[in-house]
């Protein structure tokens, strides 16, 4: 049982008043104020001996801290130097090597006190100094673009979906339920996957294309011809201005692809390498993957059907497209604020 706080002085005065002027028993008074009978007996004794009824202790009560301020600094410094060391036993050993002996329970309390919480680390592409420099230059180039400018951009990308792609890290179960269907992550030796090409704009979701194998320049030209060109005509007609965005993947930057886009008079948005956080379609892919992880599909055809159904008919996807594209000015500002480093998007 934890240590309780001292009773407020006004409650002490009320207890003493009842002891003096009423016939309530000490047990009845204790129940009335939610205190222990021992507390009432102690106040009664102080009253009879004419002692002050204020608390004798000053400041916080309970057990003293087992670590000093200097030792707390050692704990936090060690945690910062070993952020990816999730095992508290190993972290405890490293802290003890610096002359501080603590229990794992104390480590947990200190981490909570200083705001350190355990979370699954996000996966982000590696950024070299050259890439960071390009991201800053790109952000400066488009920092003055308005929403009217971004509404004219067609964002595109490819993404891979895997059957039974359940990445659950934890389950809540009781004893004996470790093999329950809801508490098991099913796996297969050679999982089936499908790569999808898609595009979005402020006008909504666009065409999808199931890639055969890996996207190469010849297949990508077919995608542009059979999916992108018709989509441009539906969204922008022959008069509206637009810009096409794709990243720097080899199949996108191949000479034959550049020639094809130039021949069709399709302007291409400049794009920095390793910058999926700047492409709003990545957020749409994330929604689709969360949906697919819950589906119990077992073959490639069913997987494609489910992806197409969610892409065109899921209300969350529809609303997310608009909000993600509207976030482009904020994404640009975040890149500049972070000096080209990774952003929260």
Q: Are residues 47 and 91 in the same domain?
A: no
Residue 163 token pair: 């059957």
Quick one: pLDDT at residue 166? 62
Are 27 and 88 part of one and the same domain?
A: no
Q: Are residues 54 and 164 both part of a single domain?
A: no
CATH at 274: 3.30.420.10
Mutual orientation of helices 88-96 and 104-113 as an angle, nearest 10°? 90
What DSSP element (H or E) covers 133?
helix 129-142
Whether 90 and 188 map to the same domain: the answer is no
Residue 280 sits in the same domain as residue 303: yes
pLDDT band at 59 (very low <50, low <70, confident <90, very high): low
Per the DSSP assignment, residues forming a β-bridge with 153 are 243
Give the angle subtended at the CA of 195 by the CAs of 329 and 205, to the nearest 5°.
40
DSSP for 10-64 reads HHHHHHHHHHHH----HHHHHHHHT--HHHHHHHHHHHHTT---S-S--S--SSP
Q: Does some domain include residue 120?
A: no
Residue 127 confidence (pLDDT) above 60: yes
Residues 6 or more apart whose CB falls under 8 angstroms from that of 154 comprise 199, 200, 201, 206, 228, 231, 232, 235, 242, 243, 244, 245
Residue 198 belongs to what H/E stretch? strand 193-201
Q: Is residue 155 part of a domain?
A: yes
**DSSP annotation of 214:** S
pTM: 0.72
Q: How far, in Å, CA of 13 to CA of 11, rounded?
A: 5
**Residues 153, 293 within the same domain:** yes
Give yes or no: residues 213 and 298 share one domain. yes
Q: Give yes or no: residues 102 and 239 share one domain.
A: no
Q: Strand, coil or helix: what is 291?
A: helix
Task: Convert the pLDDT of each residue in 186-223 to its tens digit.
Answer: 666 667 789 999 999 999 999 999 999 889 999 999 99
pLDDT single digits (tens) 243-292: 999 999 999 999 999 999 999 999 999 999 899 999 999 999 999 998 88
Question: Do 268 and 253 belong together in one domain?
Answer: yes
Per-residue model confidence as pLDDT tens digits over 71-120: 888 888 888 888 887 778 888 888 888 888 888 888 888 888 888 888 87
What residue numbers bound the domain in which 28 lies?
1-64
User: Could you tell me if residue 332 is inside a domain?
Assistant: yes
CATH number of 33's domain: 1.10.10
pLDDT of residue 61: 61
Q: What confidence tier does 1 reach under pLDDT thresholds 50, 70, 90? A: very low
Same domain, 73 and 60: no
Greatest mean pLDDT range, 189-198, 298-307, 329-338: 329-338
343 found inside a domain: no
What total of structural domains would you count in the chain? Answer: 3
Environment class of residue 332 by beta-carbon count within 10 Å: exposed (0-12), middle (13-18) or buried (19+)? buried
| Distance (Å, whole) CA 294 – CA 316 | 16
CA distance 278 to 267: 19
Residues 6+ apart with CB under 8 A from 279: 155, 157, 245, 247
Structure tokens at 124: 């982000």
Same domain, residue pair 190 and 329? yes
Residues 7 and 77 occupy one common structural domain: no
């Amino acid at each position: 049982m934890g240590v309780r706080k001292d009773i407020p002085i006004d409650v002490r005065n009320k207890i003493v008043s009842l002891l003096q002027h009423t016939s309530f028993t000490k047990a009845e008074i204790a129940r009335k104020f939610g205190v222990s009978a021992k507390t009432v007996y102690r106040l009664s004794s102080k009253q009879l001996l004419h002692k002050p009824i204020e608390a004798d202790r000053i400041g916080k009560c309970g057990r003293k801290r087992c670590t000093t301020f200097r030792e707390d600094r050692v704990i936090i410094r060690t945690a910062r130097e070993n952020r990816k060391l999730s095992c508290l036993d190993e972290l405890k050993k490293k802290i003890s090597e610096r002359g501080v002996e603590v229990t794992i329970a104390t480590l947990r309390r200190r981490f909570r006190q200083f705001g350190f919480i355990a979370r699954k680390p996000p996966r982000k592409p590696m950024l070299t100094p050259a890439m960071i420099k390009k991201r800053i230059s790109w952000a400066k180039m488009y920092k003055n673009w308005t929403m009217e400018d971004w509404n004219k951009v067609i964002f595109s990308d490819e993404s891979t979906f895997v059957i039974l792609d359940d990445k659950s890290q934890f389950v809540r179960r009781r004893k004996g339920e470790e093999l329950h269907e809801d508490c098991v992550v099913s796996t297969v030796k050679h999982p089936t996957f499908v790569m999808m090409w898609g595009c979005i704009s402020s006008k909504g979701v666009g065409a999808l294309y199931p890639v055969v194998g890996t996207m190469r320049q010849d297949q990508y030209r077919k995608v542009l011809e059979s999916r992108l060109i018709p989509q441009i005509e539906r969204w922008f007609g022959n008069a509206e201005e637009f810009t096409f965005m794709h990243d720097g993947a080899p199949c996108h930057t191949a000479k034959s692809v550049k020639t094809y886009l130039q021949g069709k008079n399709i302007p291409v948005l400049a794009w920095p390498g390793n910058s999926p956080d700047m492409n709003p379609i990545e957020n749409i892919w994330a929604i689709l993957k969360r949906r697919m992880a819950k589906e119990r599909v077992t073959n490639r055809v069913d997987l494609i059907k489910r992806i197409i159904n969610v892409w065109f008919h899921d209300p969350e996807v529809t609303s997310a497209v608009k909000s993600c594209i509207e976030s482009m000015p904020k994404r640009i500002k975040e890149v500049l604020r972070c000096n080209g480093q990774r952003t929260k998007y």
